[in-house]
Amino acid sequence: MDDPAGTLQPLRQRVCAARHIVVLTGAGMSAESGIPTFRDALTGMWANVDPMQLASEAGFRANPARVWAWYAERRHGVRAAQPNAGHRALGDFARRLPGRLTVVTQNVDDLHQRAGNTDAIRLHGDILQDRWLDSCPRTMRGSTCDTAFAEPGDPPICAECGNRVRPGVVWFGEALPLDALTAAEQAADACDLMLVVGTSGAVWPAAGLAARARHAGAHVAIVNPEPSDIDADAHQLVRGTAAGVLPPLFAA
């Protein structure tokens, strides 16, 4: 978006003047890099599979090989994708002005990190990381057990106790990581500008961060091509995509 009419200029002025900016990003931002949203990825052999069977602990326990294959396919797509202009704009801004920007993301890929926002707060985990499905007996005895040493398989398992490896994402019915949620809430409370980019606003508690920031006194702008469920929480709506809107907003 080249913004010939200057419609973004007031928001850009806010970006330049803000002491602390929070950018909350959702699936639409990663979709611009070719990573399908969760629902959009349910095609081909996955088209008739209940999403709850692919993204829940119960589904994993019922058919671990199927869920592992689903995430292996999604991981391949994440590794092949590249940060888009929106990711790069945020990364460049953070490098130029350290401490001014906090990225909070609902996305489980690593595109923000690869673009330069290495401290992005991940609310829904990291699809490229593994963790144990159950509490590791070795940890309970005071030692550690790294998933890297699990026996190969689909999924890998612990040779000692049979514990399975699972993707390091937040599944349906699971709580968000407490440290990530706390950090996101603190950032929302402290910012004077929040941009909500590429999210439908339908997934909680992430969707509540916009109202929280506004209540704390921040100016809230939503950047999305389509209406979202939390448009009423915003002072300003920008109908555009992350790759089109963020570069002119955060340009040097």
For 62, other C-beta atoms within 10 Å of its C-beta total 11
Q: Which amino acid is at 63?
A: N
Q: Of 23, 40, 20, 191, which is closest to residue 123 (Cα–Cα)?
A: 23
Strand pairing category for 21-25 and 193-197? parallel
The one catalytic residue among 20, 87, 112, 124: 124
Q: Are 198 and 226 in contact (CB under 8 A)?
A: no
Q: Are 66 and 45 in contact (CB under 8 A)?
A: no
Range 75-82, long-range pairs (CB < 8 A, 24+ positions): 75/127, 75/128, 75/167, 77/34, 77/35, 77/36, 78/35, 78/108, 78/109, 78/110, 78/111, 78/127, 78/128, 79/128, 80/34, 81/30, 81/33, 81/34, 81/35, 81/109, 81/111, 82/33, 82/111, 82/114
Active site residue 124: yes
Residues with catalytic roles? 124
